[in-house]
Structure 1
Amino acid sequence: MTAAARVEGAVKEYGAGETRVRALDGVSVEFAEARFTAVMGPSGSGKSTLMHCAAGLDTLSGGRAWIGGTELSGLGDRELTLLRRERIGFVFQAFNLVPTLTVRENITLPLDLGGTAPDREWLDTLVDVVGLGDRLHHRPAQLSGGQQQRVAVARALAGRPAVVFADEPTGNLDSRSGGEVLGLLRSAVDTMRGSVVMVTHDPAAAAYADTVLFLADGRLVDTVERPTAEGVLDRMKALDTRRDRAAAR
């Protein structure tokens, strides 16, 4: 399968000298096209750092990263900005909607910033999928948290990106609203043939993915295909036990 995004030998360090922290320690991974990949690991494992570097939001200290066939290290700031706008969608735990804009305006914002006219048929499809046709002229403050995050998902998909990166997208939502958002991301893969990479700490959320990657101490330590919530939870417990034993030596 073709990779929508990938990193090779990814190293990310913060600080210097005795305060230096290695958040990524030689990670190599491919995120396949038309697949939903979840990235999990304990706090400080490097999962969000991996996502940020793979998406060009942060730069690697060593190694290489690609979106499709484009290597990120060879791009200047303006080229990176254009690539993120045109080929990548983002969904974060904080909805990051513009409070003065309507739902429709928030969805089309990346296109408007790029001077690109929205595809009306695609926009209508997105609005239908996220179920907000009767809220298009509302502003974020008039929506529930789940509705706001659905707007954020539609915004991420509006430009038909090569890959959507989602960082704890259900972290601020109740289980019902979170399930709706995860269902949308799953639908983006199954019916829209998009690619989704999601960082999460929730085994139930990870069960929506095709593949789950596990990080620990900045390294890729395990992979699970066709995950279930129970299977992911068991794997996380096993990794925690392994870490505890290693720390006790």
Structure 2
Amino acid sequence: MTDADSRGTIAARAQQLTKAYGEGETRVVALDSVDVQIGRGQFTAIMGPSGSGKSTLMHCLAGLDTATSGKSWIGDTEITSLKDKALTKLRRDNIGFIFQAFNLLPTLTALENITLPMDIAGRKPDRAWLDNVIETVGLRDRLKHRPTELSGGQQQRVACARALASRPEIIFGDEPTGNLDSRSGAEVLGFLRRSVNELGQTIVMVTHDPNAASYADRVLFLADGRIVDEMLRPTSDAVLERMKRFDGARTS
């Protein structure tokens, strides 16, 4: 696909992205010349064994970590060549983040936590969009509650709404259901799926959970810093079988 073809359809991409730590004999390659494209309006899951490079790939794509070599883009903006100030602004204006720890401020209400990034940036939220997000997240009756008055699943849905509220180009989630029980995790994953279907959001999620991956449109499998396989329209059983092949390869 050419650059001209990709405009408007690709939310993020990487070209020969490499991340290495150390030098000489102690050099460890976390990402090994990765080429990848993330489709706009799609839910992509990244999976792989521990140490496969999945979190490193997400962090480099999101501009949270710097690559050793190669290039990556958010939309049409190459982020690998941006200075710190420009990169910080791009992350603030174009990227949403959802982490395993909810990262909510305990002194603020749910609504104040949702609008906090825009408040810091000095921007007023689009009220119609914010209302739509709040409706989709299903927490309208909890907006005045502080985090300690919410369940874990509700807190993570507040974090999801915060990521969505500024209408980012793309949302990155790092094990967003890792701290949740299965019911709360399903609530959050269902919300993320709806945000793609109903709000046109683009989501990239690192997960180790085959059930979580089954909510995605596409699963990328990493091993030893490389993308070794992908799966479209995944089911939890199919993902589990694919992951077992990784374990078999490592023990054989």
Q: TM-score, normalised by structure 1?
A: 0.96
Alpha-carbon distance in structure 1 between the residues aligned to 2:182 and 2:151? 14
Decide which of 99, 103, 122 is 2:110's aligned counterpart: 103
Aligned residue in 2 for 1:77: 84
Alpha-carbon distance in structure 2 between the residues aligned to 1:20 and 1:196? 32
Alpha-carbon distance in structure 1 between the residues aligned to 2:81 and 2:26? 29
- Pair 1:144 & 2:151 matched: yes
Letter in 2 for 1:106: N
Aligned residue in 2 for 1:201: 208
Structure 1 residue 126 displacement after superposition: 1.3
Structure 1 residue 194 displacement after superposition: 1.0
Letter in 1 for 2:166: G
Structure 1 residue 134 displacement after superposition: 1.4
Alpha-carbon distance in structure 1 between the residues aligned to 2:83 and 2:55? 23
Decide which of 126, 130, 133 is 1:123's aligned counterpart: 130
SS at match of 1:83: helix
- 1:56-113 Cα offsets, whole Å, 9 max, x none, are 0000001101000100122111111110111100000000111111111100011111
Letter in 1 for 2:178: G
| Contact residue 17 and residue 70 of structure 2 kept, 8 A | yes
SS at match of 1:74: coil
Structure 1 residue 241 displacement after superposition: 1.6
Aligned residue in 2 for 1:14: 21
Aligned residue in 1 for 2:228: 221
Alpha-carbon distance in structure 2 between the residues aligned to 1:158 and 1:51? 21
Letter in 1 for 2:62: A
Q: Show structure 2 runs of 5+ residues with no match.
A: 1-5
RMSD: 1.0
Q: TM-score, normalised by structure 2?
A: 0.95
- Pair 1:30 & 2:37 matched: yes
SS at match of 1:98: coil
Letter in 2 for 1:113: I
Structure 1 residue 240 displacement after superposition: 2.1
- 1:129-186 Cα offsets, whole Å, 9 max, x none, are 1111111111111111100000000000001011100000000001110001001111
Alpha-carbon distance in structure 2 between the residues aligned to 1:101 and 1:76? 32
Letter in 1 for 2:19: K
| Contact residue 49 and residue 246 of structure 2 kept, 8 A | no
Aligned residue in 1 for 2:172: 165
Structure 1 residue 23 displacement after superposition: 0.5
Report sequence identity in percent.
64
Alpha-carbon distance in structure 2 between the residues aligned to 1:77 and 1:98? 25
- 1:25-70 Cα offsets, whole Å, 9 max, x none, are 1111101000000000011000000000000000000110100010
Count of matched residue positions in the alignment of Structure 1 and Structure 2 = 245
Aligned residue in 1 for 2:3: none
Alpha-carbon distance in structure 2 between the residues aligned to 1:225 and 1:242? 22
Q: Which runs of 4+ in 1 moved over 4 A?
A: none
Letter in 2 for 1:217: D
Aligned residue in 1 for 2:182: 175
